């Protein structure tokens, strides 16, 4: 199923309207930053789709919305449920791998190379993401690295549950496992499709021999 660029624009604009309404209702600086981040990611995704003729499917837009909402709009959950961060670091690489694989598949490479480059690109993106977190912490002390939970004595106080270095290594490990899981699932699917195709060919050959 494909969506025209016009319909994609309408969906994105409608989403922005909803986010702006929510922003007006909450009137919170933190919520403003999360809304702008969500809108920016979706806008960037549409820009890539439009100018690079990526021809993203509806499911890819669903995935990018899901990643934006889970990663930005619901970011306060990081400080309420420490496991939430680890779940995202496992799940988001799987979702992102689906988008990357769609782009790589346009190169018309052999399946094994498509999967290899997808895996490599996702791992590279994970490393860049962690470098970005390090930079934000270094220059703005935004507490992006490390696992924190709100202190019961105040909303602005946090207790650290995992050291920054340990957190970074665990995040990369979970992301690697997630992208590896996608690679394995696609590889198994490709093998099953090849076997099914081979069986169909053999069946047609046997039918043609019988007809003779």
- List, for residues 57-80, the tens digit of each pLDDT value: 989 999 999 999 999 888 888 888
Q: How far apart are CA 30 and CA 32, in angstroms?
A: 5
Q: How high does pLDDT run on average in the chain?
A: 83
**Does position 175 have pLDDT exceeding 90, yes or no?**
yes
pLDDT band, very low/low/confident/very high, at 142 (cuts 50, 70, 90): confident
**Region 104-124: what's the mean pLDDT?**
92
Check: CB of residue 55 under 8 Å from CB of residue 2. yes
Residues 6+ apart with CB under 8 A from 186: 101, 115, 118
Lowest-confidence pick of 15-24, 95-104, 183-192: 15-24
Q: By three-state DSSP, how is residue 160 classified?
A: strand
Q: How far apart are CA 97 and CA 115, in angstroms?
A: 9
Q: How far apart are CA 89 and CA 28, in angstroms?
A: 27
**Region 85-106: what's the mean pLDDT?**
94
pLDDT band, very low/low/confident/very high, at 148 (cuts 50, 70, 90): confident
Which pTM was predicted? Answer: 0.82
Sign of CA dihedral 105, 106, 107, 108: positive
Q: How far apart are CA 201 and CA 206, in angstroms?
A: 9
Check: CB of residue 63 under 8 Å from CB of residue 99. yes
**Region 136-163: what's the mean pLDDT?**
70
pLDDT band, very low/low/confident/very high, at 97 (cuts 50, 70, 90): very high
């Amino acid at each position: 199923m494909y969506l025209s660029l016009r319909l994609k624009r309408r969906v994105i604009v409608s989403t922005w309207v909803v986010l702006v309404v929510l922003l007006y209702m909450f009137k919170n600086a933190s919520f403003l930053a999360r809304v702008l981040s969500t809108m920016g990611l979706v806008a960037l995704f549409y820009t890539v789709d439009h100018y690079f003729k990526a021809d993203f499917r509806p499911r890819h837009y669903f995935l990018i919305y899901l990643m934006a909402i889970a990663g930005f709009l619901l970011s306060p959950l990081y400080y309420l449920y420490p496991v939430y961060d680890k779940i995202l670091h496992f799940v988001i690489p799987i979702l992102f791998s689906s988008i990357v694989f769609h782009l790589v598949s346009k190169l018309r490479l052999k399946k094994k190379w498509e999967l290899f480059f997808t895996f490599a690109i996702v791992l590279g993106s994970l490393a860049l993401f962690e470098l970005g977190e390090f930079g934000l912490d270094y220059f703005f002390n935004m507490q992006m690295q490390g696992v924190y939970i709100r202190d019961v004595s105040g909303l602005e106080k946090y207790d650290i549950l995992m050291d920054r270095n340990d957190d970074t290594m665990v995040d990369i490990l979970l992301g690697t496992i997630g992208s590896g899981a996608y690679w394995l699932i696609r590889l198994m699917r490709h093998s099953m499709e090849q076997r099914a195709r081979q069986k169909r060919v053999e069946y047609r050959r046997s039918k043609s021999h019988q007809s003779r």
